[in-house]
Chains A and B, each alone.
Chain A
């Protein structure tokens, strides 16, 4: 019964996560508010649009009970602008949407993060790709192509974006080193899933090669700390 999968999410698990994203639907039939395990769904009354999780939207769409409004970033103009940005900046991804302000650090409630951010509803920012952009675009283009103005064009732009970003991910292998610590802001969920085994494999491999050097350095540093060298104390606290 143990899960026979290596660490890291599989593409279908990433798609499962993506189906928790909120999307905006325009219902065609009434549906009362339902008490679900993950919270109550809003009552759907045509023609008022409402935000519901993607899995529910797909179910309604399949039975022609609702139409899905694509998020503003999944349109020709936005995708073209993001693609231009990706092409201009050869070493970074386009910036992700801003995380909402976090509650103060003393609060016990942990901050909200994708896939629970409303980053794919009609009110989402149009100029940033959210974490699950690729999966969401694929799913929507597959299940609801008739809700797009020009599905083929959007599909082509998504493919261009994906290729541009994948080549950046591959080029980024040069900066990998034994300690890790590589910053990858704006990377997408599916891109992480695809690159994970390779990237972590390279980092872990490099670490094993330089393990003895690192061990020596660790011993030297702890010696220095015991002898009371100033300035090393702070680093120690960070490592806790």
Chain B
């Protein structure tokens, strides 16, 4: 750790929480749009952001009455920014719903078997997943599954060596940027060894960098 690092530390600590939250929300959004599987839900971050959005809407409602042109322009700026934030949050949540919809049984299993914190799904996402899945399976059963032989009626059959449950492709290639030196990263089953130094950009398998992305040493782009 040299003097630059110490200065950087001080610099980062003095950055207001709002800026940091915007940065982490943007990073989470990009990661969720790019990664092949769900990334744990940033509970605290989302709580702070949503609360701030609600407060900002109140501010706008209070000031809309004034006809002063100066305040009016300020309001335009505030509203423009609010819309940008809402887009970020919405796109982030919608990308997550798309992933939940694509592999519902897989995420039901994962959220039932793991108790890691932060949890993979938010409370609402979990409710959505359970409700949606039970509606779907009831529908399937009443419309055609009930006419099948009993041993063929399950939707999550794993016997016979082949699992019916579709999983996201964990080995999909992703673009990453290295934020902290990570040393050599190996891709399992191949000869690929990448020396990841700060600032490098790589195309690499998601499974090889997953842990480092969650740890914040590497970011998806």
User: A179 and B81: CB pair below 8 A?
Assistant: no
Q: Closest residue of chain A to B85, judged by CB?
A: A37
Give Cα A16 to B76, complex, Å.
18
From B24, B94, B101, B179, give the contact of A102 (CB < 8 A).
B179
A2 & B94 in contact (Cβ 8 Å cutoff):
yes
Partner of A99, one of B49, B53, B100, B198: B198
Instruction: Judge if A231 is at the interface, Cβ distance under 8 Å.
Output: no
- The answer to whether the Cβ of A209 comes within 8 Å of any Cβ in the partner chain is no
| Chain A 158-201: CB-based contact to B (< 8 A → 1; otherwise 0) | 00000000000000000011111111111101001000100110
Asked if A13 is at the interface (CB within 8 A of a chain B CB), the reply is yes
Q: Which residues of B lie under 8 Å from residue A36 when comparing CB positions?
A: 18, 77-78, 81
Report yes or no: A37 in contact with B22, Cβ–Cβ below 8 A.
yes
Determine whether A227 belongs to the interface, using a CB cutoff of 8 Å to chain B.
no
Give chain B residues whose Cβ lies under 8 Å from the Cβ of A240.
211
Contact B18 A111 (CB under 8 A): no
The number of A-B residue pairs with CB atoms under 8 Å apart is: 203
We find that the number of chain B residues with CB closer than 8 angstroms to chain A is: 81
Can you pick out 30 interface pairs between chain A and chain B where the beta carbons lie within 8 Å of each other? A2-B100, A3-B95, A7-B35, A9-B34, A16-B87, A19-B84, A20-B22, A31-B74, A32-B74, A34-B74, A36-B81, A37-B53, A38-B22, A41-B77, A55-B81, A99-B199, A101-B2, A102-B179, A109-B13, A113-B177, A131-B221, A179-B187, A180-B187, A180-B203, A181-B204, A183-B202, A199-B203, A207-B205, A215-B189, A235-B186
Binding site for A on B (CB under 8 A): 1-2, 4-5, 7-9, 12-13, 16, 18-24, 26-27, 30, 33-36, 49, 52-53, 56, 73-74, 76-78, 80-82, 84-85, 87, 91, 94-95, 97-98, 100-101, 169, 171-175, 177, 179-180, 183-194, 198-205, 208, 211, 216-217, 219, 221
